[in-house]
Amino acid sequence: MAWRLAVDIGGTFTDIVALNEDSGELHVAKVPSTPDDPANGFINGIEHITDNSAVNADEIVAVFHGTTVATNAILEHKYSELGLIVTRGYRGVLEVARQTVPGDFGDITWWIKPRRVVPLELVREVEGRLNVKGDEEFKINPDEVRTLAAEFRKLGVEAVAVSLLHSYRNPVHEQEVRDLIQEVYPECFISISSDILREYREYERTNTTCLNTALMPLLSSYHEKLEDYLRSREITAPFYIMRSSGGLAQAEEISRLPIAAALSGPAAGVIAACHFGNLSGFPNIICFDVGGTSADICLVENGAPRMLTEGRVDIYDIKTPMIDIHTVGAGGGSIAWLAGGRSLKVGPNSAGSFPGPACYGNGGELPTVTDANLVLGRLTSALAGGGVELDYNSAAVAVNTIAEALNLELVDAADGILRIAIENMAAGIRTVSVKRGRDPRDYALVAFGGAGPLHACYLADWLGMKQVVIPPSPGVTSAYGLLLTDVRVDLVHTDVQREDQLDRERIASQFDELEARVTERLAGEGFKPETMLLTHFLDMRYGGQAYEIRIPMAVDGRPIIECVDDAISAFHASHKDLYGYSYEGREHVELVNIGVTGLGLLKRPQIPVVASGGSAPDAALRDTTEVYFPQSRGKVSCPIFVRDQLKAGNLIDGPAIIEQYDSTTVVNPGWHGRIDEWGCLVLTKS
């Protein structure tokens, strides 16, 4: 037996999936997350699944992990104090930042720039300078750098970031500074910007390097604790962490490059949603991942999500490859409250895993979306296979605080909470679709996470969508996605050239260099050439623009340089698709970044098909219950089906409730469902 083990830590629950590589046998588990020390949630999850299933520690061949540790540290500003070394004259690079002001100027009355990752008093300047071509103008002064290293050591600064001018063109000065610091202060954590981000834009490169450095002590300690635990259980399998880009890296690499895992967990969910969407015949989907704290949303076209060259975590712009995911503060634990005593709001604050919603019985008293669903009958008696008993009376008392304040009946208050939560989720979907010229009605909604299926039909009705796909184990879909991806390496090099002045030999040479570095990195992780897949891309823009579009290159066995003209044509088409216009034939295109992505291909696990049954789901019928739907303006009788007992071909007409260990699906009136051969529940609006 060979088992793959995946652990995804969310705000409320930690999800665990064990998959047999050969048979496709699957075991899933959910345990409460432990925000004070996420490593304990990881450990508890593995203990739970190995103690309660046929998974033996010595049969585990790979461990995969999606984590929010880096994200939470950034959100809460709980990272290590660090120092920063810059080129002389650039001490204020973080303070200067960018001139971009958020929102419309007419709406801005005041604005404060993001707080510095490094306080100004811990920024130091050094001699030595490269010009824009990467040629040396002034040498590094070794004695000066050694003095700074000793000073940081005396101050107790355990991490130092190095970001020198034009180092994206030539890393030699940064490498020299790093070596000199290590000579004096060997235990110091150090990041140099040319290792983190080989691209221009001084502020973004410096800020990303600083955040990466600040996270290094935390992530190193976290990964060390997890690896010590795995060794103590005699689990010697490779340990992989999910990147924000949708690929994997070994934990040792993420300890050096933690910023690459800033959106680790949500990225795995998108990978799984694409997988199940494609299996069920829907290559164009909107991923809808709802947990206890938030909803993560991603638009997918032709089976692949859009990739970003940069993103945002809280108030910080981060330059690292990531899947284009939009997050809204709307989850099962989102708290309902009254603004000004009369205006009902939901979120973004969440009850989290402890005390959690009032119905969890852990002392929570504030009304949440989960409490509203319980009052409306959309949830029954328990979650997580009975692991979390739901207390209706506590939920009713919490929701009644809203009802009394607004002079409403209890179910009307609960319905109001749910409606506002749905509108918050719908606003997130409009952000990734309507605001980008896409009509959500042209896409299927793939709903997962513990609370995604609970709200999917309601949300689809709200937006006029006609198709919903619920994966087989929706509550652990993000963890399952960890098992469906490959090891990934992304390398980028900035070289700004205009299309009428391209140095094609230099471009070809840079692609060769990047290919060699990517191949070396993958070989270092044990991959042979036949298990490597390299793809190429260019970041391009029109002259005068400040941001680029990433264009994949279709090489097809041709010399890479012959594909540049095709990529330029693809840029014009992509620009028109994204923004509604192009300047083809009127403006020159600028090539900004050259990049190579390498995949170390892992063996795909066997995906078994579901046993066929007739159209009638009678064998899965467990009970009936009363559920409130806005369409009926009251509670109606609904059958309750057990998801695990449904067969391929079974048909379910709404209204209905489908329960399973990790989630609950509500099929609204007017919706019809069928189980396909892969175990997905495909819902269609009449």
Q: What tokens does 423 get? A: 């509108």
pLDDT of residue 104: 53
List all residues 6 or more positions away from 69 whose beta carbon is below 8 Å from its beta carbon. 9, 38, 218, 219, 222
Q: Name beta bridge partners: 552.
A: 537
Q: Please compute the mean of the pLDDT values over residues 544-563 and round it to a whole number.
A: 84
Comparing C-alpha atoms, which of 640, 637, 654 is closest to residue 380?
Answer: 640
The CA distance from 630 to 219, in Å, is 47
Q: Are 271 and 264 in contact (CB under 8 A)?
A: no
Cα separation of the two ends of the chain: 45
Q: At residue 108, does pLDDT exceed 80?
A: no
- What are the tens digits of pLDDT across the range 113-158? 777 889 999 999 999 999 988 899 999 999 999 999 999 999 999 9
CA distances from 286 to 103, 241, 297, 445, 448 (A): 25, 25, 7, 5, 11
3-state DSSP call for residue 242?
A: strand
Inter-residue contact 244 to 267 (CB < 8 Å): yes
Average pLDDT score over residue span 599-609: 84
The C-alpha atoms of residue 320 and residue 655 are separated, in whole angstroms, by 44
Q: Where are the alpha helices (DSSP H) in 123-261?
A: 142-155, 172-184, 193-196, 202-232, 251-256
Check whether 576 has a pLDDT greater than 80: yes
pLDDT at 25 over 90: no
**Residue ranges covered by each domain of the chain:** 75-219, 486-600
Helix (H, G, I), strand (E, B) or coil at 363: coil
SS3 276: helix
Q: Write down the CATH number for the domain with range 486-600.
A: 3.30.1490
Q: What is the pLDDT of residues 374-395, one digit of tens each?
A: 999 999 876 655 566 889 999 9
pTM, rounded to two decimals: 0.87
Pairing of strands 189-192, 159-163: parallel
Q: Residue 319's closest CA among 170, 198, 190?
A: 198
594: number of Cβ within 10 Å: 27
Strands (E), 471-571: 487-498, 532-542, 549-553
The answer to whether 599 and 547 have CB atoms below 8 angstroms apart is no
pLDDT tens-digit readout, 165-216? 999 999 999 999 999 999 999 999 999 999 998 888 888 899 999 999 999 9
Q: What is the pLDDT of residues 440-485, one digit of tens each?
A: 999 999 999 989 999 999 999 999 999 999 999 999 999 999 998 9
**If DSSP codes are grouped into helix, strand and coil, which group holds residue 368?**
strand
State how far the Cα of 631 lies from the Cα of 613, in Å rounded to an integer: 32
Q: Is 318 helix (H, G, I), strand (E, B) or coil?
A: strand
Cα separation of 612 and 650, whole Å? 8
Q: What residue has token string 């030595």?
A: 128
C-alpha–C-alpha distance, residues 514 and 131, integer Å: 22
Please, which pLDDT band fits residue 348 given cuts at 50, 70 and 90? Answer: confident
Q: What CATH topology corresponds to 75-219?
A: Dna Topoisomerase Vi A Subunit; Chain: A, domain 2 (3.40.1360)
pLDDT in tens, 630-645: 877 788 999 999 999 9
pLDDT, residue 321, reads 85
Q: What is the pLDDT of residue 13?
A: 81
Mean per-residue pLDDT, 412-434: 95
**Residues 279-308: tens digit of each pLDDT:** 999 999 999 999 888 899 999 999 989 888
Whole-angstrom distance, CA of residue 145 vs CA of residue 181: 7
Q: How far apart are CA 674 and CA 616, in angstroms?
A: 10
Mean pLDDT, all residues of the chain = 90
Task: Kindly give, in sequence order, each residue whose CB lies less than 8 Å from that of residue 672, ignoring residues fewer than 6 positions away.
Answer: 651, 652, 653, 654, 683, 684, 686
Alpha carbon distances (Å) from 612 to 186, 199, 616, 650, 676:
62, 53, 11, 8, 9
Contacts of 392 (CB under 8 A, 6+ apart): 359, 374, 375
Dist CA 377 CA 322 (whole Å): 39
Please tell me which residue, 32 or 594, carries the higher pLDDT value: 594
Residue appearing with tokens 């990881």: 42
- Give percent of the chain above pLDDT 90: 62
Q: Residue 487 has what pLDDT?
A: 93
Which of 57-71, 118-132, 309-323, 327-341 shows the lowest per-residue confidence on average (mean pLDDT)? 309-323
